[in-house]
Structure 1
Amino acid sequence: MSNKKILIGLLLISVILGAIFYINKFGLSLSSKRNALELVSSEAVLVFETTEPVMAWNQLVTQPFWERLAELPALDQAQVQIMALDSVLGKSGRLERALKGNQFVISLHPVGKEEFDFLYTIAFNDKLGLEILKDLEDNLPELSRINTRSYSNVQIKEFQSLDLERNLSYTLLGNVFVASYSSFLIEEAIRYAQGGNLSNFKSAHNALFDALPNPKGLGVFRLSSPGFARILSGITRDTDLGMIQSFSRRGITANLELKFVDSKIVMEGSAFFPDGKALDFSTAAGGEIKKFQNLISNRTAVLHQYHLADLIQLKTMEDDGFEFTSTLKGDIQKELVEKGFFKNLTGELAFILFERIPNEPLDKVLLVQTRSIEQQKELLNSFALNLIRSEGEILPTDYYQQQEIFMISNEDFPAHLFGGKFQGFPDTYITVVDDILVFSNSSKSMKLFIDDVNNDNTWGKSLNQKVMLDNLNEEFGYHFLLPIPRFWSAVLEKSSPNWQPFFQKYAPQLKSMDLLSFKVRQKDKGNQVIMEWGYNLAPIKAVQDVLLTENRSVQFQNRLTYGPVIVQNFIDRSQEFVLQDLEHNLFLLSAEGEQVFGYPLDGPIVSEIFQVDFYKNGKLQLLFATENQLYIIDRLGNMIPGYPISILDETIVHLNLVDYNNTRDYRFFIGTAEGKLFLLDKNGTLLEGWDPKVISAPTAVKPAHHRIAGVGDRMVALSSAGELYFFNRRGEPEHGSPIRLGNGLSSDYILLERGSAKESRLVTITTDGEVVQVNLRGELTYRNQLLRPDRESKFALIKDQKEDRYLFVVHEYNKVTVLNNEYQTLFNVDIFSEELDFQFFSFGTDKNIFVIIDKNQEFIYLYNLEGSLLNTLPITGENQVVIRYSGSQNDYIIFTVSGNRFSEYRLPL
């Protein structure tokens, strides 16, 4: 069946359209009355039952969101047809009188691997409701006809019309009128009517009808988890259906009454479980439903939150289909459960799925509150160490922004710990935040989580996420929240080829239904369920012209040539700014723009600005390099004794900071113009094996240390001659190093961590435009040549500020083309300049800024990833900018320098 007809059905339009609009006159016998659901297969994936179809339709079309959804051609056509039907019947309420009180059922059935169709059934109580049929027959559309055929001695009629893509088949079985666009569904209904041992929907789901024999209100959705899972599996291309299958195995059914309440579509009722056993969703009187509000990232696309009296209640929800590893399960029982791990947990738990990035594994984070964080951390740490001791390894540990992270390398550790739930962790990375245990499924997802928490990029800190938190209710033990716009990238990526065009074409209309909320609570020894669809009626519009104005500025005596760079004030954690002028003076400005100090340097700064705690006392200093010297200056403008230092008369081109174990025993990793690598301790002493290490050419980008749990330490350098070097910490080349990547390198690289040396990837692009990927075994795993418009074209890989996402840029003399990581063109910009610089800032899939800096004309342009210019007039400047997103104000803050002026701009969203 076509996608548009399924959408019609889901919105109840076909409840009216399919059952009545094209009917012919029959002889009708009501001597044998049936329940319409007795003719519906037990394989139906969704059933809606009502005795008030006209009232349900009228309320639907008077909702504020209907105007938006009616923009879909299929819905607009359905509305026109129903209005025509009402006109035929005289607009006197005859349609409502004919249908009112009669059982009206619409059921959705699989008719192929990825296709579904509806069966419409009406069980008439008496002949009064059939008076309209004669009027309809007398007013059939032109160029239409009715054919008949027989199946199992029952006459089936088929209505044919040029206005229909397919024939509508229908028949009368006793008092039940049956219709469908898939004729075999009619044949199936006939088989049910003629008896036998077939299991129909009503007999297969006794609990639903024992609890609610007849629909109430506008109507009732009768649902089952296997049926809902069948819908999901039918529209996805993903072969890994673990979560869907897990949900299906639960065998949950529910009666949900349809309501329209407070600008929401509400479905409320009760859930039922196999054997009549309700799950325990009771909550604790002193629980904190919003405990995680400042830890839930704005990247969140799916949230499962448990708010229980005790997490031991999760045992009653165990997934019987999950394949436990007996040895791991036994170790957990012995080393964690028997040592009181669960006794120290509260009832608060959140499972978070981040928005999906194309071609990247899905990032997952699990938050668990505990009453004894240090004891729980020690239990997990000891457990992880015990698992690897037999293999003769050390515990994989990393540090990121002062957070210690350790890893458990056993697959699906959280699922083994919590009864099969929370799957999808090939490795488990663990850290703690206050009294919360944090589990993530990759090093990348853990670092994203830490970044967002530290930068207040969370629901609790964002004004526009208040609606999410308002959906959390203390009385409910389980909440499921699905922000549709944030989840949409997953819909597009995971939908099957048959469904993807549908979701792409109608994305603006469908995304208007912007939030799905599902919650469960304990009530009268049963489980009350409330499902709500929120909708956003903000107009669908193009980005409007925005003229940026300065929010504040600071003027200097000389032209500014470096910065701004944001650093942290170690006293109050506020942001401060580092700048340098044409006379090589270094300046530190406070958050208010006041000068903290100025310091004359020997030349221009050639490195990033790093902050170090040289004396291990919590006070931070600035580390950076000029071409000739290495500097460490404290916040008062005083040089650390022994600094600045020179590196054997070498010319410094790159500097990086290394802190292997977050002990503040720093190493300074330096690349020089002479093609040499140096590694110094924090006192400036050259370390053995690095005094120096000679490579084929100057470094193309700063050399770096990477620690990947499950892999270990790698020292990485890319030479501008096109070679990639891997060393261990002692300066010894790793196997296969160096790896020849191409004729030259001038672009950055990104490291995609996958938990193993074989699967992790270093991605970069050569000066000839060839994308190359190398794993951490030193194996070249991928090459792809981008289109090279001419010999002068330049290529670059541009990372975002978190080094999480990346884009490719092709720079011709008169044009810039921006591509995503799948090499698909995002947009083109016509720009005539040879000297361009690029930046990429990402604050989620829906908040992205691509920056083009024209150094010749000293203009800075801000684009979204659709290629729309965000600022009507360019910002003046030639230096790279700094952009922050303010969740509380829902705007971008942009820091720039131009001439002798440091400025701050705000760009509202």
Structure 2
Amino acid sequence: MSKKLLVFLTGLFLLAALASYVYYRRTVAAVPLDPWALVPDDAVLVTATRDQPTLVRHLKETQVWDNLTTVRYFQNLENTVALIDSLTGSRNVVLRFLGRKHVLTSVHVTGPGRFDVLLQVPIGSVREYRQVRSLVDALARDPQFRVRTRDYEGTLLTEINEPGTGRGLTFLNHRNHLIFSPNPLLVEAVVRRLAGPAQPTVAADFQGTDFFRLRDVDATLLINYRRLPQLLGVFFRADVGPSIGALTSLGRNGQLEMKLAGNKVVFNGFVNPETTAGSLHERLRGQPAQRLRMAEVLSLRTALLVHLGLGPAGVLRGPRPATPRPDTLNPAVLPLLDSLTAGLSQEVALAYLAPPTARVKPGRLALMWCARPAQQALLLGQLRRVVGASPSFERVGPYQIHQTGVPELPARLVGPLFAGFRAPVVAVVGSYLVFGDDAAALRAWLQDVAAENVWSRSPTQVAFLQETQPLARLSVVLDTRNAWNLLLRGLVEERRAGLLRNESLFKRFPQVALQLVPAANEQEEGAQYFSQLLLRHPLVGPAVARPQGSTGTGSVLAFKTPLAGAPLLVPVAGATRPGVLVQDAAQVLHYVTPENVVAWSDSLPGPLVGRLQRRTVAGRAGYLLATAGQLHFLDQQGRPAPQFPLNLPDSVRATGLSVSPEGAGAAPRLLVAGGAETCFCTTPTATPTPTGSPNAWTSTWPLSRCT
């Protein structure tokens, strides 16, 4: 081959490469990639985050992080992060890599009794791409792992497996977006999804909604309510499924924002209604939202409450068919049932009482509001006479328990959502008809009502209800402490051990409420439900937040004990406002987060002397402070550092504290002002006495007078 031909072919190749690059930049790369287009259509839940360091900080400040670290999934994740740090030779590599990226995490049901997670992380620079390649190469060289690539429908997939353990990971890189999952089928579903880029995404109904433009939003959550029963079926027994499916048929899909603050996690957002025939939304369309007025008759032993606000309760049952089905009931019963249903309105609810053990069937009650309870009692008496039920009754305090004589009477009155009462008993309590599936459950509930052990008499429960939406169509209220045995009974056998392992996380928020509020213009096209999911634990702390000013745009922390001394502003990475350290008159030090929430408190032996300082001592970042007889060093979660507090000798009374500048290769020295123009200095690496505890120090502690 002549040199001229070689030069010509080389130039032609370079020209073709340049043309391909320009074409890619002008056509493919010029069109921004929608990350939602990479999420398979069968996703049940999708979370989106954009500021991972702030999210981790909020999880730690609300102490949720400590509970998450006890979950096996997060423990495995921590081990993976530690492995990556080890292979890269640096700390916090994963958190720095994630940074402020838009990260999507989706949950999918991948088989009977199984679900898996798919993650999507964008690559922002050539440097980050090299980090990923270096990590994969390091894993390929490690004998504990096996790395291989394979082709799937023209796309290169990389698989990383740990032989002998069954653990592995499959990922692909599509236009600088890493998509990876422990289940290779989910990654393959992404490849198939890319074959039809024009099809709508799972978030197509919420393209005009961006919750991250709002302040203090930690994450967003997309919920596919049509597939939610399928995911819950992975955890709960098959007989629970129909009830869950009936309730979730209010909505088709929804998107919520998540905020972590103090003693609660709040999800607020919107839900698109389910418009298919026979759905719960179609039955209740146009019905007014109602208040939860039955708090005065709800026992403190209630584990789960499903509350529906509506107009006439007959809309749940629907019209009676013109040609009735064969029924064993006396024909004279039907007019009485219609009259009873006509008298019910505004509120209907199902309540489950806390069982003593998981082996005991929980008590189940149906509560229905009526405007004329006396007339309803007369109709129930006529019904008993028609069906030949016993006129005898059992008295519990001022209330009477009667037999009904009609199987499935609640379902005959207000529809199949209240099925399961095979031999119901009934009592009239105030303005409510209360049906029980057996006399024992209704008796226990009436005893609590007679003793006023009800929600309206509990300050904790009242404070919780005040934070929920006042008007709602659907309210699901869960008390995780009372519902523990109820959940153990409802779970499939394979999931009970997991619930027991994660008990601390589950009981972190004992008060849970999910509510759907219909729009005022519900009949118009595009109307959505407002949805709120509230996870809360009772506020037990040194301060209470109150609105600031008449507009309520800010909040003020009112401490129960008067404050003493000047506060210290603490800069917080990623936050626009600083945190605050302050001490009260009871010698308790409090840290207030930028979100105006007391994250932790620590008792001190006396008032602070000098000023608080944010320092790094012996390689640890924290807060350095002194009392008259001790030196303290607290980490960023308020925990004492090792070898602290340091007890000063009896002859020394500190009046101030400072830190000398660090020398080359030398530890910083603590300078303690002792009054009378004397100064003492030491280092924080002293050793404890052989016989004392690590916090017991003697006069042999290396304290010297400064000159």
TM-score (norm 1): 0.48
Indicate the residue corresponding to 1:300 in structure 2: 302
Indicate the residue corresponding to 1:487 in structure 2: 483
One of 486, 499, 503 as aligned partner of 1:503: 499
In 1, distance between residues paired with 2:427 and 2:483? 26
Pair 495,288 (structure 1): closer, same or farther in 2 beyond 3 Å: closer
Q: Give SS of 1:486's match.
A: coil
The offset of 1:464, in angstroms, is 5.3
Pair 280,316 (structure 1): closer, same or farther in 2 beyond 3 Å: farther
Alignment length (residue pairs): 494
In 2, distance between residues paired with 1:438 and 1:57? 46
Indicate the residue corresponding to 2:189 in structure 1: 188
Q: Give SS of 1:184's match.
A: helix
Indicate the residue corresponding to 2:233 in structure 1: 233
Pair 61,264 (structure 1): closer, same or farther in 2 beyond 3 Å: same
Task: Map 1:529-678; keep pairs closer than 5 Å.
Answer: 529-535=531-537
Equivalent residues of 2:460, 2:538 under 8 A apart? no
* Paired AA for residue 47 in structure 1: V
The offset of 1:445, in angstroms, is 1.6
Q: Give SS of 1:171's match.
A: strand
Indicate the residue corresponding to 1:264 in structure 2: 264
Equivalent residues of 2:70, 2:502 under 8 A apart? no
Indicate the residue corresponding to 1:107 in structure 2: 106
1:805-842 deviation digits (Å, cap 9, x = unpaired): xxxxxxxxxxxxxxxxxxxxxxxxxxxxxxxxxxxxxx
Are 1:172 and 2:167 an aligned pair?
Answer: no
Equivalent residues of 1:34, 1:176 under 8 A apart? no
Q: Give SS of 2:484's match.
A: helix
Pair 196,80 (structure 1): closer, same or farther in 2 beyond 3 Å: closer
Equivalent residues of 1:35, 1:123 under 8 A apart? no
In 1, distance between residues paired with 2:508 and 2:212? 32
One of 406, 412, 422 as aligned partner of 1:426: 422
Equivalent residues of 1:301, 1:482 under 8 A apart? yes
Task: Map 1:107-506; keep pairs closer than 5 Å.
Answer: 107-122=106-121, 130=129, 132-134=131-133, 136-137=135-136, 140=139, 142-143=142-143, 144-161=145-162, 166-195=167-196, 202=202, 206-209=204-207, 217-239=217-239, 241-275=241-275, 289=292, 291-308=293-310, 310-312=311-313, 315=315, 334-337=335-338, 339=339, 341-342=341-342, 344-356=343-355, 357-386=357-386, 388=387, 393-395=388-390, 397-401=392-396, 403-462=399-458, 465-506=461-502
Indicate the residue corresponding to 1:849 in structure 2: none
Pair 97,176 (structure 1): closer, same or farther in 2 beyond 3 Å: closer
* Paired AA for residue 420 in structure 2: G
The offset of 1:502, in angstroms, is 1.4
Pair 504,90 (structure 1): closer, same or farther in 2 beyond 3 Å: closer
Flag the structure with higher helix content. 2
Pair 453,511 (structure 1): closer, same or farther in 2 beyond 3 Å: same
1:433-465 deviation digits (Å, cap 9, x = unpaired): 222221112122221222222233323344554
Q: Give SS of 2:111's match.
A: coil
Equivalent residues of 1:303, 1:480 under 8 A apart? yes
The offset of 1:44, in angstroms, is 2.0
Pair 288,107 (structure 1): closer, same or farther in 2 beyond 3 Å: closer
Aligned identity (percent) is 18
Equivalent residues of 2:116, 2:182 under 8 A apart? yes
Indicate the residue corresponding to 2:43 in structure 1: 44
* Paired AA for residue 38 in structure 1: A
Equivalent residues of 2:62, 2:262 under 8 A apart? no
Equivalent residues of 1:260, 1:266 under 8 A apart? yes
Pair 270,329 (structure 1): closer, same or farther in 2 beyond 3 Å: farther
Q: Which runs of 5+ in 1 are unaligned?
A: 1-26, 540-909
Q: Give SS of 2:297's match.
A: coil
One of 508, 515, 522 as aligned partner of 2:518: 522
The offset of 1:73, in angstroms, is 5.3
Equivalent residues of 2:211, 2:220 under 8 A apart? no
* Paired AA for residue 298 in structure 2: I
Q: Which has the higher contact order (CA 8 A, sep 6+)?
A: 2
TM-score (norm 2): 0.61
In 1, distance between residues paired with 2:254 and 2:317? 17
Q: Give SS of 1:294's match.
A: helix
Pair 511,160 (structure 1): closer, same or farther in 2 beyond 3 Å: same
* Paired AA for residue 428 in structure 2: V
* Paired AA for residue 170 in structure 2: S
* Paired AA for residue 190 in structure 2: A
In 1, distance between residues paired with 2:245 and 2:230? 9
In 2, distance between residues paired with 1:519 and 1:230? 21
Equivalent residues of 1:30, 1:175 under 8 A apart? no
The offset of 1:493, in angstroms, is 2.2
Pair 499,394 (structure 1): closer, same or farther in 2 beyond 3 Å: closer
In 2, distance between residues paired with 1:330 and 1:256? 49
The offset of 1:70, in angstroms, is 2.1
1:499-532 deviation digits (Å, cap 9, x = unpaired): 1111223323432232211122234533211101
Pair 138,533 (structure 1): closer, same or farther in 2 beyond 3 Å: same
Pair 351,495 (structure 1): closer, same or farther in 2 beyond 3 Å: closer
Pair 123,134 (structure 1): closer, same or farther in 2 beyond 3 Å: closer
* Paired AA for residue 403 in structure 2: M
1:142-170 deviation digits (Å, cap 9, x = unpaired): 44342111222221111234797511111
Equivalent residues of 2:211, 2:257 under 8 A apart? no
Q: Give SS of 1:374's match.
A: helix
Equivalent residues of 2:146, 2:163 under 8 A apart? no
1:466-490 deviation digits (Å, cap 9, x = unpaired): 4554455424343221111211112
Pair 336,497 (structure 1): closer, same or farther in 2 beyond 3 Å: closer
Bigger mean CA deviation after superposition, 78-87 or 370-379: 78-87
In 1, distance between residues paired with 2:399 and 2:186? 59
Indicate the residue corresponding to 1:705 in structure 2: none
* Paired AA for residue 222 in structure 1: L
In 1, distance between residues paired with 2:511 and 2:335? 42
Q: Give SS of 2:492's match.
A: coil
